[in-house]
């Protein structure tokens, strides 16, 4: 879908590389600029999954010769992704002003946690910090419990990488029409608060400002339950028609304790009863009971179990893999494995020379 688009990625961790991988999955050419002589970072994982589909060149950006190669790459590119703290790229003489002086149509993507300005802009932080400050973490947990720790994908990927990707795609469309690039400031804290708009748009009952009283964190029909085997099931039958189906499968359709779905004063008692019921049987019992139902119950699978689930395997997923998403015309695009650091450097420099950029 993005054939003909070239993205230059400056090596970082987390959401920036994920966004660049997403561009590669969508068909863009992504050239990863890695640190010359740098050791493999264990945080990137043994599989280097986020580098799949990319080409690699190793540069020392403090060396004038290698800096010249980086500038040539920028002149050849449609977009740039960097995930440094604010000011780092400027000190390397590759900040937005310098880059767009080389290439006015460049879409310059900046991925940070706190953003390019504001009191926290230069401070360290991680996913959980950004979610906490944005208000998104408030509902992560049951009443009386500390907020839980969501998977890092909620902040780093949902509020970070995907916002960077969308912002850059918008910038690329503008550049195509006007010839003028833009600077995309993608901050995880901004994306997390922006996603809260869905919650706040749903009106009374969804955003009460009190933990355990909203339709997201308190109801007995919107939480996970422990089973006798130590596994868990996830229940979220929000709509009354689905709630009715849930009660029917559970044998509770005529039970007066469950008659009022939306009374928060009753949720603690209703939840406690369901805890006892679910704890009496193993997870697989409940998964089988609801297998063909619209009652909105699913087992909580481990990653290895998910890789073997019939639905996931039917969609082409497998152990250790993550297929490109979304799909176009029903097909998942294949990608090439991650390159070794610097393995494409010679070919990339030859191409730059052929184009008169070196």
Task: Please pick, among 126, 255, 263, 294, the residue that the annotation labels catalytic.
Answer: 126
Residue 185 is among the residues annotated as catalytic for this protein: no
Annotated catalytic residue 126: yes
Measured distance CA(121)–CA(115) in Å, rounded: 6
Cβ neighbours for 166, distance < 8 A, ≥ 6 positions apart:
none
Count of C-beta atoms within a 10 Å radius of residue 262? 13
Residues sharing a CB contact under 8 Å with residue 164, sequence separation 6 or more, in sequence order: 15, 16, 19, 81, 109, 111, 184, 186
51 by DSSP, 3-state: which? helix
Q: What is the DSSP string of 185-253?
A: EEEHHHHHHHHHHHHHHT-TTT--SSTTSSTTTS-TTEEEEE-TTS-EEEEE--SHHHHHHHHHHHT-T
CA angle centred on 49, ends 46 and 53, rounded to 5°? 135
Residues 6+ apart with CB under 8 A from 170: none
Which residue is it, tokens 């297998």?
291
Strands across the sheet containing 297-299: 222-226, 232-236, 297-299
Q: Which of 81, 188, 190, 185 is nearest to 126 (CA)?
A: 188
Inter-residue contact 302 to 232 (CB < 8 Å): no
Which position among 25, 51, 127, 156 bears the catalytic label? 156
Q: Kindly list the catalytic residues.
A: 126, 156
């Amino acid at each position: 879908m993005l054939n003909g688009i070239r993205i230059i990625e400056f090596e970082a961790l987390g959401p920036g590389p994920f966004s660049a991988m997403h561009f590669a999955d969508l068909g863009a050419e992504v050239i990863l600029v890695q640190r010359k002589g740098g050791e493999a970072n264990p945080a990137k994982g043994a599989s280097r999954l986020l580098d799949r589909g990319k080409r690699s060149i190793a540069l020392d950006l403090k060396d004038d010769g290698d800096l010249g190669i980086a500038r040539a790459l920028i002149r050849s590119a449609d977009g740039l992704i960097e995930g440094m703290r604010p000011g780092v790229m400027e000190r390397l003489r590759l900040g937005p002003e310098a880059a767009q002086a080389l290439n006015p149509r460049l879409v310059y993507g900046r991925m940070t946690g706190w953003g390019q300005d504001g009191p926290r802009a230069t401070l360290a932080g991680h996913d959980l910090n950004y979610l906490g400050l944005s208000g998104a973490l408030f509902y992560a947990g049951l009443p009386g419990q500390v907020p839980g720790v969501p998977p890092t994908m909620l902040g780093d990927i949902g509020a970070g990488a995907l916002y960077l990707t969308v912002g850059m795609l918008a910038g690329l469309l503008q550049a195509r029409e006007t010839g003028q690039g833009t600077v995309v400031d993608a901050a995880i804290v901004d994306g997390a608060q922006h996603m809260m708009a869905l919650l706040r748009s749903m009106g009374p009952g969804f955003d009460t400002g009190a933990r355990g009283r909203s339709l997201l964190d308190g109801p007995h029909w919107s939480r996970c339950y422990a089973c006798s085997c130590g596994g868990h099931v996830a229940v979220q039958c929000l709509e009354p028609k689905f709630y009715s189906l849930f009660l029917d499968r559970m044998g509770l359709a005529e039970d007066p304790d469950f008659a009022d779905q939306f009374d928060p004063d009753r949720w603690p008692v209703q939840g406690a009863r369901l805890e006892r019921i679910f704890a009496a049987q193993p997870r697989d019992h409940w998964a089988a009971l609801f297998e063909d139902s619209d009652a909105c119950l699913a087992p909580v699978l481990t990653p290895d179990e998910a890789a073997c689930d019939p639905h996931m395997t039917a969609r082409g997923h497998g152990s250790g893999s993550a297929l490109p998403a979304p799909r176009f015309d029903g097909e998942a695009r294949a990608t090439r494995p991650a390159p070794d650091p610097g393995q494409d450097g010679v070919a990339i420099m030859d191409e730059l020379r052929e184009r008169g950029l070196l």
